[in-house]
């Protein structure tokens, strides 16, 4: 499979990754042959690129760290938890606990995890993927920090619902393009306090869970909100969510800006270490994020162009690349794989949007 721009998609290409709608239902399933109608529908949904099956890249599908069933269960739970009618009930609380414990068990089963951020996300399903992805990221950091089960559970539940306070903020302010007015920004900041109140008073979570919503926008140097707390005043769980929240937001398309490529988002986190983010947490986080996802077209320092076919958990920036074009731009008549972890004079200089095969 490989990633292509949707505008280059053609009829009869086979989709290699499910695409989900705004409410978490499968819109087009992997394995389906594309029709012109489908391509048009995906365009209307704001899909920008897709994964297709390609015989040149013999990877059928990238394995997710959690099963499809759990992913869909998570979407259902998040949809319910974030819907305003549910805020006054505690019915959802046990479901959230069960869901997060299932995610924890699946993550603990895996030895070396490297996350391929290959979900096709749209602006519309941002909250679903953001809640689930940040939860997986946080839990993996928690596991690296040797958290015990109860601590992982609180971290996971708090991460899943860290932005729950946004249900009380008007949508037009949340998704506003262009600069916010002072008053609007003040309102957005309130989602931390509102989130804490919802988790604490309505959903009856304990302090360890609720404080994640309260403090996830605090920054080490005191420049965050709502209180401007610094270093040791911020719970470690909230410091973890600060990192994963910003990373996932940066790699997602939003109403107001295009996404960053993962290696640039990591660069941003590394540059903001010690002022905004805890560098120990960032150092744990970067070990399981693949900088260049499988199926992504890239260009090497030698000007050779190819597609990432395998990620090495020990060297996230040095995957195996299958080369299709030599440094002169000529198509190779034979198969050539370069393992960047073994050949240090090669490195990826940029991610390409698409290459013609
Ligand atoms: Fe937030």
Q: What is the mean pLDDT of the chain?
A: 92
131 alpha carbon to ligand 1 midpoint, in Å? 11
pLDDT digit string (tens) for 173-215?
Answer: 988 888 889 999 999 999 999 999 999 999 999 999 999 999 9
316 alpha carbon to ligand 1 midpoint, in Å? 28
Asked if the structure places residue 356 within a domain, the reply is: no
pLDDT digit string (tens) for 128-160?
Answer: 999 999 999 999 999 999 999 999 999 999 999
328 alpha carbon to ligand 1 midpoint, in Å? 47
Exposed / middle / buried, residue 340 (Cβ in 10 Å: 0-12, 13-18, 19+): buried
Asked if the structure places residue 177 within a domain, the reply is: yes
Domain count, the chain: 3
Identify whether residues 176 and 36 lie together within a single domain. no
Identify whether residues 281 and 301 lie together within a single domain. no
Assign residue 88 the CATH number of its domain.
1.10.3210.10
pLDDT digit string (tens) for 213-270?
Answer: 999 999 999 999 999 999 999 999 999 999 999 999 999 988 778 899 998 999 999 9
Tokens of 230: 């610094």
Identify whether residues 172 and 221 lie together within a single domain. yes
What number of other Cβ atoms are within 10 A of residue 149's Cβ? 11
Domain that holds residue 319: 297-351
Asked if the structure places residue 222 within a domain, the reply is: yes
- What's residue 174's pLDDT? 87
Identify whether residues 195 and 254 lie together within a single domain. yes
> Would you place residue 60 in the very low, low, confident or very high pLDDT band (cuts 50, 70, 90)?
low
77 alpha carbon to ligand 1 midpoint, in Å? 19
- What's residue 61's pLDDT? 59
Task: Flag whether pLDDT at 316 surpasses 90.
Answer: no
- Residue that the structure tokens 């900041």 belong to: 189
Exposed / middle / buried, residue 80 (Cβ in 10 Å: 0-12, 13-18, 19+): middle
- What's residue 275's pLDDT? 96
88 alpha carbon to ligand 1 midpoint, in Å? 21
143 alpha carbon to ligand 1 midpoint, in Å? 23
- Parallel, antiparallel, or unpaired for β 331-339 and 315-325? antiparallel
């Amino acid at each position: 499979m490989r990633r292509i721009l949707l505008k280059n998609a053609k009829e009869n290409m086979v989709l290699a990754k499910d695409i989900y709608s705004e409410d978490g239902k499968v819109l087009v399933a992997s394995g389906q042959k594309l029709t012109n109608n489908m391509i048009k529908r995906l365009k209307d949904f704001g899909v920008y690129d897709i994964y297709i099956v390609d015989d040149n890249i013999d990877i059928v599908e990238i394995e997710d760290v959690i099963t499809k069933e759990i992913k869909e269960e998570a979407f259902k739970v998040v949809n319910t938890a974030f819907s305003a009618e549910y805020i006054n009930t505690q019915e959802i609380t046990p479901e959230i606990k069960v869901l997060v414990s299932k995610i924890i068990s699946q993550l603990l089963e895996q030895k070396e995890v490297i996350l391929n951020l290959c979900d096709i996300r749209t602006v519309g399903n941002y909250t679903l993927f953001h809640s689930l992805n940040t939860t997986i990221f946080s839990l993996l950091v928690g596991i690296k920090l040797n958290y015990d089960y109860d601590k992982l559970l609180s971290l996971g539940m708090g991460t899943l619902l860290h932005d729950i306070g946004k249900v009380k903020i008007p949508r037009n302010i949340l998704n506003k393009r262009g600069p916010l007015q002072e008053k609007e920004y003040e309102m957005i900041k309130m989602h931390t306090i509102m989130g804490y109140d919802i988790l604490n008073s309505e959903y009856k979570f304990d302090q360890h869970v609720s404080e994640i919503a309260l403090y996830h926008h605090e920054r080490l140097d005191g420049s965050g909100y709502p209180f401007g707390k610094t270093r040791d005043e911020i719970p470690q769980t909230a410091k973890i969510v600060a990192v994963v929240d910003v990373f996932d937001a940066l790699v997602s398309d939003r109403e107001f800006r295009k996404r960053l490529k993962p290696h640039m988002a990591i660069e941003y986190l590394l540059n903001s270490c010690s002022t905004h983010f805890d560098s120990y947490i960032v150092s744990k986080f970067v070990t399981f994020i693949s900088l260049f996802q499988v199926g992504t077209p890239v260009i090497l320092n030698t000007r050779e162009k190819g597609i990432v076919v395998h990620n090495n958990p020990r060297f996230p920036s040095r995957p195996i690349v299958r080369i299709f074009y030599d440094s002169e731009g000529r198509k190779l008549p034979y198969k050539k794989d370069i393992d960047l972890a073994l050949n240090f004079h090669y490195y990826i200089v940029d991610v390409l949007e698409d290459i013609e095969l």
